[in-house]
Chain A
Amino acid sequence: MTLTTDHSKAELESEGLSFGPATGEESRATRHASFDVAQHPVPTGREEEWRFAPLRDLLPLFQAEETTVSEEHLSYDVDEVEGVRAGQLGSGEGPRDSVLVPEDLVAARTAELTANALHLTAQRNVEVDQPTVVEIGGHDASVVAHGAIVLETEESSSATFVLNHTGSARYAQNVEMVLGANSRMTVISLQDWDDDAVHVATHVASIGRDATLKHIVVTLGGKAVRVNATSRFTAPGGEVEQIGLYFADDGQHLEHRLFVDHAAPKCTSNVTYKGALQGKGARSVWVGDVLIRKVAEGTETYEVNRNLVLTEGARADSVPNLEIETGEIEGAGHAAATGRFDDEQLFYLRARGIPEIEARRLVVRGFFAELIQKIDVPDIREHLTASIETELARSMN
């Protein structure tokens, strides 16, 4: 077993590497989960879960007693793709509500207030190459909308699902991912919202035997965006890659909280999140919990978060957390670092005649390159490269 921990250049709020539950803090294994809204108190900001969150922006989501269902406020648009079945699931209609059991108020309300969930299924033994794109367009950020999506790959199938969020919205969303044995699923959630959008998403995946999940979160737009993404191994042989990329500007709060639950033996997880921040009040939060339960012998896991702070006045918090209940693992490690532009890199490039603006652009593009290369959908890759250029152009004139 190897254990690595690398916090070179890290500016960490707190961090943990523990065998068994850390003292004073509850183990991630014991977090309360319930469909009963009354069981989830309204956050005060003192909770570990909410201490970084922009509660004022999120408040309407805590208070929502009803939801908007009008297309005029929030619309869903699904392109039909051969081999993928599209349907709806009512509350409690399986596999809906079998994977995501709410751990906070927003997720609980979303489960309760969403009458019908969008259900997309790749059928058994079918390999679908073409991505199924769900366009989620917001048209009004003054009302609260809820939504639930269930993505499923049946045994030995493979599919890619894209959730593309644009426009203005105040949106609470639950996403369940059900990976059948030996199946492969790629999920790409793009938060490309307008500047006033508020979005809280809870993603939970259940990964069957020998199944592989590639979960990609890209957050560029929105005033306050919080994505909780959980991957839970339910049988041996599973593999998860969680990738995230974010770019926070002036006044944006982008929060990503991950949880990889190694609840079965011989599974592998790899988490890489990278963010760039620029402008006054730009804020990012990354929390990466990994739990290796007693049964999860032969686990291999690595998680890393890197932040590049491009200007004064931006702040990145990065909290990796590895909890290990068995010594019989292949390897576990984590790393977190937050750095500024590297003066030596800039000097090297500029000493070759490259103007400062272009040198900065090269460094940032290079910073994200390894992640962008991992996105298998060319359209999204190009869109992303262009978006990063646009973001950079804002700060570098």
Chain B
Amino acid sequence: MSILEIKDLHATVETPEGTKEILKGVNLTIRSGETHAIMGPNGSGKSTLAYAIAGHPKYEITSGSVQLDGEDLLEMSVDERARAGLFLAMQYPVEVPGVSVSNFLRTAKTAVDGQAPALRTWVKDVKGAMDNLRMDPAFAERNVNEGFSGGEKKRHEILQMELLKPAIAILDETDSGLDVDALRIVSEGVNRAKENTEVGIMLITHYTRILNYITPDFVHVFVGGRVAEEGGPELAERLENEGYDRYLTTAN
């Protein structure tokens, strides 16, 4: 049983125009097995929240706290956070030339587990996970994200989540830009991970469509760098009909 607790989180970024505050007091708690949809308009700070939790060097935390099972995540380096059980599926996964997917996955698994996976079962696990995500075996020999289509990149992110088995996963717009088939495949992967590992999920999305495939336990409307409203799945339906306009007019 894991718990991620974000309390009054403020974060800034350096821009050419000066320091800009993007997160303005985020409160959010995610437990194992729960799925929290974070929905908000572009530019509201959703990716910033994801990056700040994962420890991206561009964002400075100016106040607040983030704890995973009582441990202060903000004191940890990026890789320590991952080894503590945090995973971030990125909105824009990064190319790493010359590093094959299979080498990358094995290196990451070894790092997260603190020991190399048993070869036989690992090969089987990777193959099985790739099959489930309808990824061609040849994919393993390609360089990480190099020349991947949008859908391939997102499947590759979910593949990592399924293999690394984090306690808490943040999925940043994993659904954006996917066609319906790819969306279904990716959603199945998320649901499999939920079932198999009880992972707690922060599902960041701009669109309600993915909620037809992944049922959230909680919905948080994210506007202007903080949670503007919270509710159950019914809140998503309301957003579906009304959009974000109602929040934008009241947000400052």
Contact = CB atoms under 8 A, between A and B. Distances in A.
Nearest to A354: B111
B39 interface: no
Given A347-B57, A358-B111, A352 B98 contact: no
A349 B96 contact: yes
A344 to B, nearest CB: 5
A366 B97 contact: yes
B84 to A, nearest CB: 9
Interface in A344-397: 344-345, 347-356, 358-359, 362-363, 365-370
A86 B112 CA distance: 56
B240 interface: no
B73 to A, nearest CB: 13
B108 A362 contact: no
Contacts of B143: 366
Interface in B168-215: none
Given A350-B78, A350-B79, A368 B88 contact: no
Contacts of A370: 97-98
A349 B112 CA distance: 12
Contacts of A352: 79, 82, 104, 108, 111-112, 160, 164
Contacts of A362: 96, 99, 103-104, 107
Contacts of A351: 54-55, 78-79, 81-82, 87-88, 90
Nearest to B83: A353
A8 B203 CA distance: 35
B62 interface: no
Given A347-B78, A348-B90, A354 B108 contact: yes
A367 B96 CA distance: 9
B93 interface: yes
Residue in A351, A359, A362 with the greatest tally of chain B CB atoms within 10 Å: A351
B138 interface: no
A25 interface: no
B92 to A, nearest CB: 9
Nearest to A343: B57
A367 B54 CA distance: 26
A366 B98 CA distance: 4
A353 B82 contact: yes
Residue in A356, A359, A365 with the greatest tally of chain B CB atoms within 10 Å: A359
Contacts of A359: 79
Contact of A356 (B79, B95, B97): B79
Given A348-B93, A358-B111, A366 B99 contact: yes
Interface in A323-355: 342-345, 347-355
B29 interface: no
A310 to B, nearest CB: 15
Nearest to B96: A345
Contacts of B97: 366-367, 369-370
A343 B55 CA distance: 12
A344 B77 CA distance: 15
B56 A347 contact: yes
A365 B107 CA distance: 14
Residue in A350, A352, A367 with the greatest tally of chain B CB atoms within 10 Å: A352
Contacts of A348: 90, 93-94, 96
Contact of A365 (B57, B99, B164): B99
Contacts of A363: 96, 99
Nearest to A356: B79
A26 to B, nearest CB: 37
Interface in A168-199: none
Nearest to A348: B94
Interface string B147-182: 000000000000010001000000000000000000
Contacts of B94: 342, 344-345, 347-348
B96 A353 contact: no
Given A347-B56, A366-B98, A353 B93 contact: no
Interface string B70-86: 00000001110111000
A200 to B, nearest CB: 31
Contacts of B98: 365-370
21 contacts: A342-B94, A344-B94, A347-B56, A347-B94, A349-B104, A351-B79, A351-B90, A352-B79, A353-B79, A353-B111, A353-B164, A354-B79, A355-B79, A355-B111, A358-B111, A362-B107, A366-B96, A366-B98, A366-B99, A366-B143, A368-B98
Given A352-B111, A352-B112, 14 more contacts: A349-B104, A351-B82, A351-B88, A351-B90, A352-B108, A353-B79, A353-B83, A355-B111, A356-B79, A363-B96, A363-B99, A366-B96, A366-B99, A367-B97
